[in-house]
Each structure stands twice: as structure tokens, then as C-alpha cells.
Amino acid sequence: MALKVDYVAREVGSNLRRNVTLTLASVITVFVSLALVGVAFLTRTGVQNATQRWQGGVEFIVFMQPAASEDQISAVQEALDESPQVDSVDFIDQQEAYEEFTDLFADSPEMIQSVTPEILPPSFRVEPTDKDVDVIRALGSEFESKPGVKQVVFAAEAIRTLQDFSRLLSLGLFSGALVLLGAAVLLILNAIRMAMFARRREIEVMKLVGATNWFIRVPFMVEGLVQGLVGALLAIPAVIGIINFIESKLTDTETINLFQGFAVHSSEQFGVAILLLVVGCLVGVIGSFVAVTRFLDV
């Protein structure tokens, strides 16, 4: 027997309406689990982007107050230039900081509009001659109390904090997602089994008139695929909304500078969206395939 698209569509629609409660439970579970997966992936990506400022041997950054005077900035610059423990210094003024910010958040025009160069702190990115942690700490600490200095952030501490934050959050989210994905497979499996049980007489008749197992399987497998796909389609905008919210909070100019490089680009969001669609479809197909195979083997 050949399958027709309209036949499959009718069968899938009928089964979904017949098991509304289980269908909703399956879709919601897939949605929540994939949302956790998406947030975990994009959070790790954002943290990786936040560490870019530490490339090139920069060991600590001296952030000035946004309103620091030229004399205060010059005094810090002079102290760094004259220190024998400093190998190189890169001064980032407010305009350059703003340009970095706009490059980083090129995909978020609303965030760029909320920031002006005047509210961003100028900074000195310092590469010491000695890479010993204690020496770097002692050198950086000399500038913490200088007039006009807002904060000194050390690379080792910054990167470790960012990585720990990413690791713990990802572990929690992936663990929760794994449990929920397992639950989603079981819910879809039970929904398909109930749909097949309700139509067991029709299935027996179809087998008697020569229908193959695959002819019977496909509509039910498409039903599972639809449940997984809908859950994924709901998860994608939720994930993007959550990540945009996290970005807006972590990159606020009043928060610790450590997280101000946290950003997720649209291409990275698109990649995770494709991943969620694939995983959602796989969850639906796996659950329905197991259910159909077990039922037809009985």
C-alpha cells in the first residue's frame, strides 16, 4: 500500500485530537527540556566571548571611572609606563570602548542605543614582564587606590570566575534537560501507544487487507515527530528571549566589568536553533518508533 500525504495528515490530526492531554504534556516537556539545553549552550558561548579581552597576554585591566579627569588618567598612564614590571600597556578610551561594545553587540541594536561612550569606563590593559601570579597581584593592587580608578580586574580570577559560572550553570541545565528529555520520550511513547490501542481494531483490519508494518507505522511516527517539533519551535524564542535578558543584565554598565563582554551573536543563536529542532524531532521520532515497534510486535 502506498502512503498519501493527505492520509497521513488526517491520521496525525485525528490522533493528536484524541490524546490532547498527553500530547500537551509531551510538547510542554520537550519545550522545557530543549529550552534548558539551548540556554546552556548559548551561556557557554557568551562566556567564551567574554574572555576575548584577555587575549594577547593581558594579565589585568585597570578600569577608570567614566568621569575620571585627564589628569587622573595621565597619572595612571605615567605610573604604568614608568614601572619596570610592565611590559606593555594598551589604553582604551571611551570611544574605543564604545566601538568594542557596538562590535560585540552588533546583533542587538536596542542595547547599543541604550549606551553612549560617556558612560563606559576607559581602561588600561596591562601585560606585565613577570607572569608570576603573586607579582601580578601586587602590581595590580598598586593601582586600586589611585584617584579615578574604578576597579582592577585580574585575568586569572576573571577567567576562572567566568569558567566556573559557565561550568556550574551548564551542568545544572544539562542535567535537568537530560531528565526531562527522557521524560518526554516516555510521554510521547505512551501517547502513541494509547493512540494505537484506541485504533487496534482498525490496525487489525489494515493488516488483514495487506497493509505493511511501515504503512501503519508512519502516521504514528509523524505524530511523535510533530510533538517534538512543536516543542522545539516553542523553545527557540524562549531561549533567545532568556539569553537577551541575561545579556542586558550582565552587560549593564553599572555591573561588574567582568561580565560586560558576555554576548551571543545571531549566527550562534541560529546554530543552536537548528540543534534544538533536530533534537526535538529525534526525541519525537525515537519515542514514537519504540512505541509502534513494541505494539506491532505483540
Task: Kindly report, residue by residue over 11-22, the tens digit of the pLDDT.
Answer: 666 666 777 787
For residue 158, the model assigns a pLDDT of 67
State how far the Cα of 25 lies from the Cα of 21, in Å rounded to an integer. Answer: 6
Name the grid cell of 44. 557557554
Q: Residue 128: enclosing H or E segment and its boundaries?
A: strand 123-128
Distance between CA atoms of residues 155 and 137, nearest Å: 10
Q: How far is CA 72 from CA 144, 151, 237, in A?
A: 13, 14, 46
The number of residues in the chain equals: 298
**Residues 33-50: tens digit of each pLDDT:** 999 999 988 888 887 777
C-alpha 42/C-alpha 221 separation (Å) is 30
Residue 185: closest CA among 279, 297, 86: 279
How much is the mean pLDDT over the chain?
A: 81
Q: What is the DSSP string of 203-248?
A: HHHHHHTT--HHHHHHHHHHHHHHHHHHHHHHHHHHHHHHHHHHHH
What is the rounded distance in angstroms from the CA atom of residue 98 to the CA atom of residue 111? 12
Instruction: Give the pLDDT of residue 234.
Output: 95
3-state helix, strand and coil shares in percent for the chain, rounded to the nearest 5: 70, 10, 20
Which three three-digit cell numbers place residue 217?
507505522
What CATH fold (topology level) applies to the domain 56-154? Alpha-Beta Plaits (3.30.70)
CB 193 within 8 A of CB 22: no
* Residue 298 confidence (pLDDT) above 60: no
Joined together, the cell numbers standing for residue 215 give 504503512
**Residue boundaries of the structural domains of the chain:** 5-51+160-297, 56-154
In this predicted model, which residue has the larger pLDDT, 41 or 1?
41
5 CB neighbour count, 10 Å cutoff: 7
> Is the model's pTM score more than 0.75?
no
Residues of the chain with pLDDT > 70, as a percent, come to 82
pLDDT digits (tens, 9 = 90+) for 183-235: 888 888 887 777 777 667 776 777 777 767 677 777 778 888 888 899 999 99
CA distance 276 to 266: 15
Find the mean pLDDT for residues 93-117: 80
